[in-house]
Structure 1
Amino acid sequence: MTAAQTGPLGGPDIGGETRINMAFIVAIVAVATIGGFMFGYDSGVINGTQKGLEAAFDLGKLGIGFNVGAILVGSSIGAFAAGRMADVIGRRGVMMLSAVLFFVSALVAGAAGSSAIFIIARIVGGLGVGAASVISPVYISEVTPAAIRGRLSSVQQVMIITGLTGAFVANFVLARYAGGSTEALWLDLPAWRWMFWLQAIPAAIYFFALLIIPESPRYLVVKGQEPRAHAVLTKLFGTAEADRKVAEIRASLAADHHKPKLSDLIEKTTGRVRPIVWAGIGLAVFQQLVGINVVFYYGATLWEAVGFSEDYALQTNILSGVLSIGACLATIALVDRIGRKPLLLIGSAGMAVTLAIVAYAFSTAVTGADGAVSLPGNNGVIALVAANLYVIFFNMSWGPIMWVMLGEMFPNQIRGSGLAVAGFAQWIANAAVSVSFPALAVSPGLAVTYTGYAFFAAVSFFFVRAMVNETKGRELEEMEG
């Protein structure tokens, strides 16, 4: 067999008996990662709408924290429920449900006449965000070959950042066109409402695109639908590889073949939570404790707090988004070459240093006679450069790699339950950081708050060294713990 041979549907034959239909795999990944785009857009759209929310609902700092953080309540529930639901209705079924939740949330949030209705709408959207955040990576990991699984799974983070950047761009364009986020736009309704309504378009595209991709073959084997699983694998890899993979999946489940449940996360011999579960929870929590979503959710408010205009602050968000996409593309090129663990270590070290620099810059902030806050000398530039370097380090490491590893690190029998617990922990940590930020920014202040994020980045370095095992190039059926 030569490299010039092709698979049954035109994909390249890349060696042995494996005949990968790359066109089909790329199409599947493209559809699945629309969930990442929705995750990003739904998370980022709030960034430019806070003035509108304050004006419409007469909110103070605590009220803004609850309205911004409402999505995180839904996300934590959605992540936990999705991991379990994926073992019942399938990976694709959960993603389709997420698409519906995104659509409903977009319409209701934009039309909300009170803070209570808005919070409910954002919780509904959060259910979709949480579900998509954990299921899209595991689905991708279950339909892609081990040799390129890391780079294809990393596309999820590219799409998350693309969604965030798309939200930033939409917010900027609508606010610029209307003359401000609180100014009237079409139908004499304020621009901030249209920022939410635009989300309904990609949500609808996501739902209908999901109708054309197959269910995960590993889920189908677990449910006793081996002929369907074999058909999917044949379309992906060819008949010979389909035979081998079905047998491997069956064998990985044979030793402990029962309906997956949460108690599988506890070792039967010791009665303790499996070490791999603690590793997953740690990865999920540290990804949030380094403070990345302060940039995503409060970027505009943050830069306005140190003297930037609303227009310039929104442009700064766009810059951060573009740099994030570039960093994720670097990860795609590196993750299957140098591995997951080295990238995590590089990211932890880089974030610790850059966050410390941001903290120093904010410590020099001064308040003028008119009450305006500014950073003296070149400290504003230093803060901006360091913050964007931090974003780059995050998005070349912890941003995509955490999702890659959660999608592949757990053994087949506990993958859904492991994702449920780790995803729940991730969103609880996200909520704790995001909801607390407005108050922390006032007291003890930005400098101390960013010092805390720098501390957690430093601790994450040692956590990775001690607890995280490399998964590069390993088949999912080989995962242990």
Structure 2
Amino acid sequence: MLSTKQPTAQNNRSYILLICGAAALGGFLFGFDTAVINGAVAALQAHFQANSVLIGLAVSLALLGSAIGAFFAGQISDRFGRVRVMIIASILFTISAIGSGLPFGIWDFIFWRVLGGVAVGAASVIAPAYIAEVSPAHLRGRMGSLQQLAIVVGIFLALLSDYFIAVSAGSATAPFWFGIAAWRWMFWTEIPPAILYGVAALRIPESPRYLVAQGRESEAAAVFAKVDRTIDVRTKIQEIRDTVLRDRTAKFSDLLSRRGGLIPIVWLGMGLSIFQQFVGINVIFYYSSVLWRSVGFNEASSLWITVITSVTNIVTTLVAIAFVDKFGRKPLLVLGSIGMTLTLGAMATVFSNAAVDPAGNPVLAGSQGIIALLAANLYVFCFGFSWGPVVWVLLGEMFNNQIRAVALAACATIQWVANFLVSTTFPPLLESFGLGTAYALYATAAAMSFFFVLFLVKETKGIELEDM
């Protein structure tokens, strides 16, 4: 447990940032784990002499592992606590990182990646839930945005470490430290932050909402006294007591209405999760080399541009952190939807009218290349200040205390399935119909997300979790 010394008002905010930052380390590993394989794909294919189908499975099945981890994380955290799920995820991240660098064949490599995916899924559920439950209402948006900031920083550092390891060794297949192949070190770079995540989890307090649900009200009072000195602790605990299930652990059946089917708020959360993926953001990060090479950049330059794009994502997430509690969640989502529709529409138009080389790749001439590059980075900017961080904020706070963990788990599971669908359908979509059609579909999803938010999403800025 962290220090029990009563903080001043300023130290109180620092303490909140500290414990939320520790929880957000799961988001960092989420981003790092999903991106680190990018630099090793070609080396893995050569090392195992695997065909493209097996390599594709090595990448995509980790996403299904994430869906599995997300599905079970909610109920496990309601039974054993938020912090214990973080510790379990830390152990899985560490084992996966070690195993991914020491595979005997492609199939056990896939197993280690799926295991890491389970950890990613668990972290994607537990971090926003914990952060929402320990943060005061006036800081909850900014603290919740730390999840997305950690994700994009994790992506950036994974890409950067892949690049420097490959450059230092000469290639991903060449020997690096101690004569061990560079691609193995790419996966092992995840071990230190994975261990740090577990150590940090051991040092932070349990969620006070979980503690009240377990009847451990004195412990919950101690946590509230440290994170928010402006509230009446006894009144707050009574409010939570009235809104949690103390006689049993919440189940997925609690998400069903009396008429059958899911309750509306869960449908809303799933809709947010689906649209966050269907606008195609992961295509930009997973397959960006197709775009950059079509503009004329070589492989090394394409990797650097991808790194720069991830920096853009970090900067725009900082914009979201600055404004999410000032402007609210809904305005940022609406603005993001408009921006993504316009930028994706521009990319769809450019690629639909592009010439094609003998190999079938689009060739952008003159202003087309400049427009595509600007539109792609503006698209990342629009996603980065809106749908990237704000969806995680909303998922962490929009559900009531009774169902928060299991509802978030259901929505995160759907999000990972949507990620899997978008990521695996892009290559055949590209081959059969071209980039223009692909970006047109994502632009359509962005336009639909505008109306979804405008008519269905309610503002949650400043509302206490007990009033949701």
Q: TM-score, normalised by structure 2?
A: 0.94
Q: Name the CA shift for 1:362/1:191 in 2 (closer, same or farther; >3 Å).
A: farther
Deviations 1:95-136, CA, capped at 9 Å, x for gaps = 111111111111111222322112111100001111101110
The residue correspondences of 1:178-189 to structure 2 (distance < 5 A) are: 178-189=169-180
Aligned to 1:10: 7
Note if 1:429 corresponds to 2:392: no
1:72 to 55, 63, 66: 63
CA contact (8 A) 2:79 2:249 kept: no
Q: Name the CA shift for 1:368/1:286 in 2 (closer, same or farther; >3 Å).
A: closer
Q: Name the CA shift for 1:239/1:319 in 2 (closer, same or farther; >3 Å).
A: closer
Query: Following the alignment from structure 2 to structure 1, what is the Cα–Cα distance between the partners of residues 177 and 289?
Result: 23
Aligned to 1:456: 445
Q: Name the CA shift for 1:63/1:259 in 2 (closer, same or farther; >3 Å).
A: closer
SS of the aligned residue for 1:470 comes to coil
CA contact (8 A) 2:128 2:144 kept: yes
- Return the letter of the residue paired with 1:105: S
Q: Name the CA shift for 1:194/1:300 in 2 (closer, same or farther; >3 Å).
A: farther
Deviations 1:294-332, CA, capped at 9 Å, x for gaps = 122233455346542221111011111111111111111
- Return the letter of the residue paired with 1:92: V
Query: Following the alignment from structure 1 to structure 2, what is the Cα–Cα distance between the partners of residues 8 and 368?
Result: 67
CA contact (8 A) 1:8 1:21 kept: no
SS of the aligned residue for 2:65 comes to helix
Note if 1:417 corresponds to 2:432: no
Once the 2 structures are TM-superposed, how far is the Cα of residue 224 of structure 1 from its aligned partner? 1.3
Q: Name the CA shift for 1:292/1:332 in 2 (closer, same or farther; >3 Å).
A: same
Aligned to 1:328: 317
Deviations 1:185-224, CA, capped at 9 Å, x for gaps = 2233332222111011110111111111010010011111
Note if 1:467 corresponds to 2:464: no
SS of the aligned residue for 2:139 comes to helix
SS of the aligned residue for 2:297 comes to coil
CA contact (8 A) 1:90 1:219 kept: yes
Q: Name the CA shift for 1:349/1:371 in 2 (closer, same or farther; >3 Å).
A: closer
Compare 124-133 and 220-229 and name the one that shifted more.
Answer: 220-229
- Return the letter of the residue paired with 2:415: Q
2:274 to 271, 274, 285: 285
Aligned to 1:276: 265
Once the 2 structures are TM-superposed, how far is the Cα of residue 34 of structure 1 from its aligned partner? 0.7
CA contact (8 A) 2:148 2:317 kept: yes
Query: Following the alignment from structure 2 to structure 1, what is the Cα–Cα distance between the partners of residues 85 and 324?
Result: 27
1:151 to 127, 131, 142: 142
Query: Following the alignment from structure 1 to structure 2, what is the Cα–Cα distance between the partners of residues 345 and 371?
Result: 37
Note if 1:267 corresponds to 2:262: no
Query: Following the alignment from structure 1 to structure 2, what is the Cα–Cα distance between the partners of residues 387 and 34?
Result: 28
Query: Following the alignment from structure 2 to structure 1, what is the Cα–Cα distance between the partners of residues 12 and 272?
Result: 32
CA contact (8 A) 1:137 1:156 kept: yes
Query: Following the alignment from structure 2 to structure 1, what is the Cα–Cα distance between the partners of residues 254 and 360?
Result: 57
Aligned to 1:243: 234
Aligned to 1:17: none
SS of the aligned residue for 1:74 comes to helix
- Return the letter of the residue paired with 2:334: L
Deviations 1:54-74, CA, capped at 9 Å, x for gaps = 222334443332121121011
Aligned to 2:308: 319
Q: Name the CA shift for 1:48/1:384 in 2 (closer, same or farther; >3 Å).
A: farther
CA contact (8 A) 2:136 2:227 kept: no
1:441 to 430, 435, 450: 430
CA contact (8 A) 1:340 1:470 kept: yes
Aligned to 1:177: 168
Once the 2 structures are TM-superposed, how far is the Cα of residue 290 of structure 1 from its aligned partner? 0.8
SS of the aligned residue for 1:400 comes to helix
- Percent identity between matched residues is 47
The residue correspondences of 1:47-66 to structure 2 (distance < 5 A) are: 47-66=38-57
Query: Following the alignment from structure 2 to structure 1, what is the Cα–Cα distance between the partners of residues 253 and 359?
Result: 60
CA contact (8 A) 2:294 2:364 kept: no
Aligned to 1:3: none
Once the 2 structures are TM-superposed, how far is the Cα of residue 361 of structure 1 from its aligned partner? 2.7
Deviations 1:408-440, CA, capped at 9 Å, x for gaps = 000111111211211110000011111222222
Note if 1:208 corresponds to 2:205: no
Once the 2 structures are TM-superposed, how far is the Cα of residue 405 of structure 1 from its aligned partner? 0.5
Note if 1:343 corresponds to 2:340: no
Once the 2 structures are TM-superposed, how far is the Cα of residue 399 of structure 1 from its aligned partner? 0.4
Query: Following the alignment from structure 1 to structure 2, what is the Cα–Cα distance between the partners of residues 369 and 456?
Result: 31
Once the 2 structures are TM-superposed, how far is the Cα of residue 9 of structure 1 from its aligned partner? 2.0
2:101 to 103, 110, 123: 110
**RMSD of the TM alignment (CA)?**
2.1
Query: Following the alignment from structure 1 to structure 2, what is the Cα–Cα distance between the partners of residues 82 and 323?
Result: 31
Query: Following the alignment from structure 1 to structure 2, what is the Cα–Cα distance between the partners of residues 383 and 191?
Result: 33
Compare 27-36 and 173-182 and name the one that shifted more.
Answer: 173-182
Once the 2 structures are TM-superposed, how far is the Cα of residue 373 of structure 1 from its aligned partner? 5.8
SS of the aligned residue for 2:104 comes to coil
CA contact (8 A) 1:66 1:435 kept: no
Query: Following the alignment from structure 1 to structure 2, what is the Cα–Cα distance between the partners of residues 228 and 84?
Result: 22
2:132 to 111, 133, 141: 141
CA contact (8 A) 2:283 2:422 kept: yes
CA contact (8 A) 1:68 1:297 kept: no
Once the 2 structures are TM-superposed, how far is the Cα of residue 237 of structure 1 from its aligned partner? 2.4
The runs of 5 or more residues in structure 2 that have no matched partner are none
Compare 136-145 and 63-72 and name the one that shifted more.
Answer: 63-72
The runs of 5 or more residues in structure 1 that have no matched partner are 1-6, 14-19
CA contact (8 A) 1:130 1:423 kept: yes
Query: Following the alignment from structure 1 to structure 2, what is the Cα–Cα distance between the partners of residues 58 and 304?
Result: 25
Aligned to 2:341: 352
Aligned to 1:4: none
SS of the aligned residue for 2:203 comes to coil
Aligned to 1:361: 350
Once the 2 structures are TM-superposed, how far is the Cα of residue 376 of structure 1 from its aligned partner? 1.8
